[in-house]
């Protein structure tokens, strides 16, 4: 099963995030569907049955502390010279959120892919782009935009099924605190 641990975005913020996504919409960019918006905490890739069981057991050991973060700032991965992903970041609460994400990632070290933690909310994936300068100008206009605040008080293990229309996420396990 292709899987990741994420934090879903509250319904009341999805419309605001989608509106920000519309600001960068152009030919060659696929916006993330509102129901798929999430913070990726740990991406595993493909897990076998025993790894999935270990992930679910490890999730039970996570003791989170509720926190509030500000959803703000727009950027790109890997960088502005080669844009593959457009994302929204974290303003207030970023350091605490990053510390939490790093702690969670350490618990799952050795399972799936290990990668550097960068809190981001993917809003668009770039398939191709004819006018990169136009995209960068659009991002520049909204780069400091503040979407709102949200509480972090749960983690979800998602199964990610890739389809021709895009990914479909299924909740496998959820923990709250």
Domains of the chain: 2-176 (3.90.1140.10)
* pLDDT tens-digit series, residues 138-175: 999 999 999 999 999 999 999 999 999 889 999 999 99
Active site residues: 38, 120
- Beta strands, E only, 52-165: 67-79, 82-90, 121-126, 146-152, 154-163
* Pairing of β 154-163 and β 82-90: unpaired
Is pLDDT of 114 > 90? Answer: no
Strands lying side by side in the sheet with 29-31: 29-31, 121-126, 82-90, 67-79, 146-152
* Dist CA 75 CA 30 (whole Å): 16
Cβ atoms of 177 and 65 closer than 8 Å: yes
pLDDT at 175: 98
Instruction: Give the H or E element holding residue 100.
Output: helix 94-107
pLDDT at 49: 96
Name residue, tokens 């100008």: 137
**Rounded average pLDDT over 31-54:** 96
* pLDDT tens-digit series, residues 2-30: 999 999 999 999 999 999 999 999 999 99
Structure tokens of 70? 């500000």
pLDDT at 166: 87
* Dist CA 39 CA 55 (whole Å): 18
Q: How confident is the model at residue 112 (pLDDT cuts 50, 70, 90)?
A: confident
Mean pLDDT, rounded, of the chain: 95
């Amino acid at each position: 099963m292709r899987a990741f641990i994420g934090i879903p975005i509250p319904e009341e913020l999805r419309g605001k995030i989608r509106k920000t996504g519309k600001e960068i919409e152009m030919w060659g960019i696929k916006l993330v569907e509102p129901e798929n918006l999430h913070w990726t905490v740990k991406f595993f890739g493909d897990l076998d049955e025993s790894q999935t069981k270990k992930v679910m057991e490890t999730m039970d050991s996570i003791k989170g502390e509720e926190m509030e973060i500000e959803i703000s700032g727009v950027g790109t991965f890997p960088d502005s010279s080669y844009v593959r992903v457009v994302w929204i970041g974290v303003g207030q609460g970023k350091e605490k959120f990053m510390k939490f994400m790093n702690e969670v990632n350490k618990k799952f070290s050795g399972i799936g892919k290990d990668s550097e933690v960068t809190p981001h909310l993917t809003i668009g994936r770039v398939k191709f782009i004819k006018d990169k300068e136009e995209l960068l100008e659009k991002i520049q206009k909204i780069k400091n935009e503040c979407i709102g605040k949200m509480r972090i008080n749960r983690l979800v293990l998602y199964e990610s099924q890739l389809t021709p229309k895009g990914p479909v996420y299924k909740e496998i396990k959820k923990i709250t605190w």
